Homo-oligomer: A and B are copies of this chain.
Amino acid sequence: MVQQEVLDRTFAALADGTRRQILIRLGQGPATIGELAEPFGMSLTGMKKHVHILENAGLVTTEKVGRSRQCRLGAERLEDVMSWITFYQRLWARRLDGLDAYFTLKNAPDTDTDKDAER
């Protein structure tokens, strides 16, 4: 089972457009902190923080090469996210598809709503 903390960090890392663009950029090949920062007009320190968050989430790996830091994609972690979503989405799909059936069967629990509540 996927650890909760890993999901937390990975989802959080993806919840920022700048970081998603960094991932897309790295999808075209490794880059240094400076190369990543330049198109955003961002300070090196700011970019370093983003890369650190991505690295912490396992989405990126880095390596010091000379005085530069090479960043490249380590996107295996996305599969954890995918498997989580896929798993529950399949469960929910059944529930959502059977929504009408659910509301017609709602006599068992003590919840009581009008029959045309879903819209």
Q: Which residues of A contact B (CB under 8 A)?
A: 4, 7-12, 14-17, 20-21, 23-24, 27-30, 63, 65, 70, 73, 75-76, 78-79, 81-82, 84-86, 88-89, 91-93, 95-96, 102, 109-113, 117-119
- Bound CA–CA A118/B61 (angstroms): 11
The chain B residue with its CB closest to the CB of A94 is: B27
Q: How far is the CB of A15 from chain B (nearest CB, A)?
A: 4
Check if B7 sits within 8 Å of A17, measured CB to CB. Answer: yes
Check if B118 sits within 8 Å of A24, measured CB to CB. Answer: yes
- Bound CA–CA A117/B70 (angstroms): 10
Check if A78 sits within 8 Å of B73, measured CB to CB. Answer: no
